A = this chain, B = another copy of it.
C-alpha cells in the first residue's frame, strides 16, 4: 500500500483538477449534498480465495469492507451498488448465496441495494459503491489529529490474520470454538458504523480511519496526513487472549497485531474530554497512546518490551500486507 500505490495516487492527483481533493482518502464527502461516497473492489485470488470464504460470507464481506469506510467517516450508510463480474462457468448457487449474504448484512445495517452491473470476468470481481450521509455532522478524516489527542481503537487486532492462518494451514490442534472465533473475524468482519457515529458525535473533529490494511498502516497514515507523531504502548493494544495460541511466538504476535490487516476496527484520535465521554458511551473504545509533535518525521512510535519501535516507511515497506507489495 505504501509503495507503488502512493506513487500511483500522486500520478492520479496530478492528472485531476484541484477540486478532486478526496483522491487518496477512502471516502469522499460531497459537502453541498451531504453525501459520503466509497468504492472498493475485491478480486478472486488477490483479496480472497474461494477455498477460504463461502459465497455467503463473500457477499457479506464485500458490503462490510465498504461499510467500514463509511464508519471511518462517521457517516450513516444508505445505498449500495454492486458490480459483480464472474467467469462463465459460475454456478447459480454461488450467485444465490452471494446475494443472501449481501441481503443479510444490508438488512442488518439498514441499507438498500439499488443497482449495479453484472458481467463476465476471468476471476470473480466484486466492486461495491456505498453512499452514506453526514446527517448533520461533518465527516471525519485522517488529517484532524492534534498534539495531546488520545489515540483510540474500537476492538481487537490480529484476529483476522489468525483466522486466515487457520483457514490456510488448518491447525487441527486448536480447539474448534477458538478456530471458529478467529475464522469469523476473518470472513465476517463487523463494520463499526455505530462506533464511528458515536466518536464523531463526541469528538466533533476526530481523525479517523479503519484498519483495513493493518493497525500500523492506519496509525502511519493519520501521522502522515496530520503531520504529527504518536507514542503508542503495545501493551495497551487490545487483542484476543487466544491469539498467542495461533501466532505461536511473540514476534508473529507483534507482527499480526500491527501489520495483520483486515481487522476493520476504527483507529482515531480524540481530545481527552471526548475520550471521557466515549468510555461511558456503551461501545468498546480503548486508548492505546497519545499524539505528540513530529520531531524528525511524522511516524508512530510503539513502546514494545521497553524499546521504542519506530514505524517508518522502511518498516512499512518490509512488513505491510499491501496490494502493490514488491
Q: What residues make up the interface of A, taking CB atoms closer than 8 Å to B?
A: 4-5, 7-9, 11-12, 14-17, 19-20, 22-23, 25-28, 30, 35, 37-41, 43, 45-47, 79, 81-83, 85, 88, 92, 95-96, 99-100, 102-103, 106-107, 112-123, 125, 127, 129, 131, 323-324, 326
- Contact A15-B100, Cβ < 8 Å, known A41-B85, A125-B43: yes
Known: A11-B99, A39-B129, A41-B83. 13 other contacts (CB 8 A): A4-B88, A8-B118, A11-B92, A19-B112, A23-B115, A30-B114, A35-B79, A39-B82, A39-B83, A43-B121, A46-B121, A81-B129, A83-B127
Determine whether the beta carbon of A125 is less than 8 Å from that of B41: yes
Q: Which of B11, B39, B103, B120 sits near A17, CB closer than 8 Å?
A: B103
Tell me how far the C-beta of A38 lies from the nearest C-beta in chain B, rounded to whole angstroms. Answer: 7
Q: Which of B35, B41, B120 sits near A119, CB closer than 8 Å?
A: B41
A100–B113 alpha-carbon span in the complex (Å): 32
Contacts of A5 in B (CB 8 A): 118
Contacts of A23 in B (CB 8 A): 113, 115-116
Contacts of A131 in B (CB 8 A): 35, 37, 131
A-B contact pairs, 30 of them (CB 8 A): A8-B92, A11-B99, A15-B99, A16-B99, A16-B103, A20-B113, A20-B114, A23-B115, A26-B115, A28-B114, A35-B79, A37-B81, A37-B115, A37-B129, A39-B81, A39-B116, A39-B127, A39-B129, A41-B85, A41-B121, A41-B127, A43-B119, A43-B120, A43-B122, A46-B120, A46-B122, A88-B324, A122-B122, A125-B127, A131-B131
A178–B57 alpha-carbon span in the complex (Å): 52
Q: Which of B7, B8, B22, B117 sits near A39, CB closer than 8 Å?
A: B117
Tell me how far the C-beta of A104 lies from the nearest C-beta in chain B, rounded to whole angstroms. Answer: 10
Give chain A's interface secondary structure class: mixed
- Residue in chain B with minimal CB distance to A42: B119
Determine whether the beta carbon of A96 is less than 8 Å from that of B15: yes
A323–B26 alpha-carbon span in the complex (Å): 30
A121–B47 alpha-carbon span in the complex (Å): 9
- Residue in chain B with minimal CB distance to A59: B15
A111–B126 alpha-carbon span in the complex (Å): 24
Q: Which of B79, B82, B122 sits near A30, CB closer than 8 Å?
A: B79
A293–B92 alpha-carbon span in the complex (Å): 35
Determine whether the beta carbon of B22 is less than 8 Å from that of A99: no
A82–B79 alpha-carbon span in the complex (Å): 17
Determine whether the beta carbon of B102 is less than 8 Å from that of A16: yes
Determine whether the beta carbon of B102 is less than 8 Å from that of A28: no
- Residue in chain B with minimal CB distance to A66: B117
Determine whether the beta carbon of B114 is less than 8 Å from that of A46: no
Contacts of A323 in B (CB 8 A): 118-120
Contacts of A95 in B (CB 8 A): 8, 11-12
